[in-house]
Amino acid sequence: MRTVTIDIINDKALNLLLDLELLELIRLREEKHVENTAIKDWTKYKGSMTKQVLNEVDQQLNTLRSEWE
């Protein structure tokens, strides 16, 4: 068995491929798109951090940095 990737340009080609699958000559598989998952990954973090004043963030960073020294 060999795997071949094709780009469907016309829906008529997809119909022909489906017919070949019904004849059990080929097997069609849909691949998941990586592009869309990258966008969705960010949505799960939305709202997980509260907004802070810039001065507070700077103060926290300076405190953390001084603890390492």
Query: 3-class DSSP state for residue 20?
Result: helix
* pLDDT classification of 53: cutoffs 50, 70, 90: confident
Cα dist from 61 to 15, 47, 64, whole Å: 60, 21, 5
pLDDT for residue 27 is more than 90: yes
Would you give the distance in Å from CA 11 to the centre of its chain?
25
Residue 44 DSSP symbol: T
Is residue 46 pLDDT above 90, yes or no?
A: no
Q: What is the rounded average pLDDT of the residues 5-14?
A: 90
Give the C-alpha separation, 57 to 51, whole Å.
10
* Band (17; pLDDT cuts 50, 70, 90): very high
Q: What's the pLDDT band for 18 if we cut at 50, 70, 90?
A: very high
